[in-house]
Structure formats: C-alpha cells, structure tokens
Amino acid sequence: MEKINWYPGHMKKTRELIRENLKMVDVAVEVIDARIPVSSRNPLIGELLGDKPRIVALNKRDLADGEASLRWAERFRSEGAGAVLLNSNSGEGVKDLFRMLSEMDRQRQSRGGVKRPFRLMIVGVPNVGKSSLINRMSGRKSAQTGDRPGVTKGKQWIKLSGGMQLLDTPGILWPKFEDPKVGRNLAFCGSIKDEIMDIPTLGMELIGYLGRQYPELLMERYRLEEIGETPLETMEAMARKRGCILPGKRIDYERIGRLVLDEFRAGKIGRITLEMAPEDPDAAAPEGE
C-alpha cells in the first residue's frame, strides 16, 4: 500500500486547539485502539503533551486479543503513563479510569495551590471511541458518535461526577504516514475513510495477516479447510464460501474485501490484535507484522 497523505483542515485546527488548552488541564487521557496500540498513537499528540500527566486508555478491548492487551498495558505503565483497558460501548473499565483520575485529583489537592475543578482532556485519532467514552463518563449523550471517522467537530467542555471537567477535542491524524504499515493498520480498523482506500487490496492484506497470525479464527469464520499459499488464494476461497461471485463465475473482490473488513471491525472473526508489544521494554516499536 502506498503512503497515505490525508490532513483535512479541521485536524490542523485541532492541533492548535490542543496546544492552546493544554495548560488548562491536569491530565490528558489518550484513547487508542487496543488492536493497534502503535498505529493509533499520534506522535504529534505526544509532542504536544510533553511532560503533561497522561493516561493511556486502550479502548475496544472486547475486539482485541486479551493477553496482548494486558502486555500493552504493562508496557505503557513501565514507560511512566497510567494505563486502563476499556470497552466504552459497554462501560467496562470506565470505573477503573475514574479511580485513577480521582487518585490524581487527591494528589493534586494534597499539594495545595489554587482550588478549582480537576480538568482532563480526551485526545486521540479518529474512530478510536473517544465520543463513546465521553458519553459513558458523563452519563449522557454529550458528544456526537458515529462509525465514520471525524464525527466530533469542535471543542466541548463537559461536567463529570466528582466535580471534574472534561475537554473533548476532534480526532487528529498526522500529515502523512511515513511507515505504510501505520496507514494500513488505521485503515483496517476504520480510522481512515474507506472512500479513499482500495478496498480489494486492503481486504487482501488483512486476510494475509490473519492467515499468518490467526489462521484458526479465519478458517473457522469462513469455513475454510486450509489457508491458501497466498493471501489471494485465501481471499478467493473465502469469496466462494460466501457467494461473492460475479456473472461468469468471476470473483467479486470488492465485495469480499469489504466483507472481511466489516467483519473484522465488528469482532465477528474473533478477538484480534494487529500489533504485539515487544517483550523487551527497550526494544523498538513493533510494525504489526
């Protein structure tokens, strides 16, 4: 897959918004997709936050490999950040997040200074579940949600329990992805609009990964007797099993590509992680292969 260059104007505004309001908050909650903990972390956010206290919220834990998510949480803690596993749709893990925030608030108050509400900022790339998390934390539909990236449009201050205040911001991607694997992983998970992607190729690349790392899940979901020698062979076998056939018995690559992407994103294939945490804390970040 070629490099993706997608940087809408509203994302430039979001970067400026984060910079302008960062001094007003006590902690940043960085929401990432537990299936792609490297690719769904925007390096620009890290640069903007600097030494600001941070909690990494690994959302969509219900879609990710459970053991892999636990390893990632430990890794983030070893790097000095708080870490919590979440399913913002069901609310799982939200109480753990509140406990962490309340403890940080107690520590802030113990140091004295100006008395004001404890403030936090929610940041992250599009479609990682920020708005769903905000709605869970506030107990009402405060933020817009959707299954397409870029739904949240502007800054919102939201009151939370315990007197906390939360600043929501739209999702922010970076200007371009130097590593094509990052763009690919974001596209797999729906953080990049499908309209700008080559769906058959994207679907085939996902099938290739699943065939290597999760062959049993792929075979069970699509009733395959074996994984093909190439991703294309596997894709064609899947198409025949699902009836993705055009007149003349031709494979409908667009349909099977979209089908496997949709089923992966919905968790129908199984709990899958595309990037594994390195065992050595000093090791380089993984590339998802």
How high is the pLDDT of residue 136? 92
Residue 9 has pLDDT above 90, yes or no: no
Enumerate the domain spans of the chain.
Answer: 9-168, 190-265
CATH classification number, 190-265, choose in 1.10.1580.10, 1.20.140.10, 3.90.380.10, 1.10.3720.10: 1.10.1580.10
Q: Which CATH superfamily is domain 9-168 in?
A: P-loop containing nucleotide triphosphate hydrolases (3.40.50.300)
* pTM for this model (two decimals): 0.83
pLDDT of residue 284: 41
DSSP per-residue letters across the chain = -PPPB---HHHHHHHHHHHHHGGG-SEEEEEEETT-TTTTS-HHHHHHHTTS-EEEEEE-TTTS-HHHHHHHHHHHHHTT-EEEE-BTTTTBTHHHHHHHHHHHHHHHHHT-------EEEEE-STTSSHHHHHHHHHTS--S---SSS----S-EEEE-GGG-EEEE------SB-SSHHHHHHHHHTTSS-GGGS-HHHHHHHHHHHHHHH-HHHHHHHHT-SS--SSHHHHHHHHHHHHT-EETTTEE-HHHHHHHHHHHHHTTSS----SSPPPSSTTSPPP---
Model pLDDT for residues 166-205, shown as the tens digit of each residue: 987 666 666 566 788 888 998 999 888 888 889 999 999 9
